[in-house]
């Protein structure tokens, strides 16, 4: 599938826009405590790259006012715990269709734009608030 060219207005060679994650229809129940998940944040060496984390407990995601999940990032340092919306998360340990479809779509969207670059690229789609809420750029805009 070929994504519509520049429909989001980002010029070629610049940071790709992530329009897939905000449109993802992912329920809170799809995940449970103990699941290993990843938040896709960029690419590295021609593959998707992100932060691998473990789900700890249900937690309110204040930027979207919806049910979220508290996550533990073993390499997070000061930011070891964040709360994320379910649609940011992808199962690492289970090959479930919902998550695989999303990963394939992200690969089709991102890898053709970045395959010539071998270094790690963080696209900067996510920020963490002072209260430890992980926010996608699309939710940060709509929440204000």
- Asked if 84 is part of the footprint of Zn ion (rule: CB under 5 A), the reply reads no
- Asked if 91 is part of the footprint of Zn ion (rule: CB under 5 A), the reply reads yes
- Asked if 101 is part of the footprint of Zn ion (rule: CB under 5 A), the reply reads no
CA-based end-to-end distance of the chain: 33
- Asked if 87 is part of the footprint of Zn ion (rule: CB under 5 A), the reply reads no
Nearer to Zn ion, 66 or 79 (CB): 66
Contact pick of 39, 43, 84, 99 for Zn ion (by CB under 5 A): 99
Helix (H, G, I), strand (E, B) or coil at 28: helix
Question: Which range, of 35-43, 67-75, 93-101, 117-125, touches Zn ion by CB under 5 A?
Answer: 93-101
- Asked if 100 is part of the footprint of Zn ion (rule: CB under 5 A), the reply reads no
The string of DSSP codes covering 47-74 is: EEEEEEEEEEEEEEETTTTEEEEEEE-T
Rounded Cα distance between 42 and 48, Å, is 6
CB 134 within 8 A of CB 39: yes
Contact pick of 45, 57, 93, 96 for Zn ion (by CB under 5 A): 96
């Amino acid at each position: 599938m070929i994504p519509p060219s520049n429909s989001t207005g980002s010029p070629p060679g610049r940071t790709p826009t992530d329009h897939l994650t905000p449109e993802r229809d992912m329920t809170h129940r799809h995940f449970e405590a103990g699941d290993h998940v990843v938040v896709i944040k960029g690419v590295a060496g021609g593959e998707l790259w992100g932060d691998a984390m473990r789900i700890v407990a249900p937690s309110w995601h204040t930027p979207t006012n919806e049910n979220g999940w508290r996550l533990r990032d073993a390499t997070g340092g000061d930011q070891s715990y964040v709360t994320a919306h379910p649609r940011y998360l992808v199962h690492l340990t289970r090959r479930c269709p919902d998550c695989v479809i999303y990963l394939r779509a992200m690969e089709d969207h991102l890898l053709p734009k970045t395959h010539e670059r071998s270094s790690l690229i963080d696209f900067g789609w996510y920020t963490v608030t002072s209260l430890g809420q992980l926010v996608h750029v699309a939710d940060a805009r709509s929440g204000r």
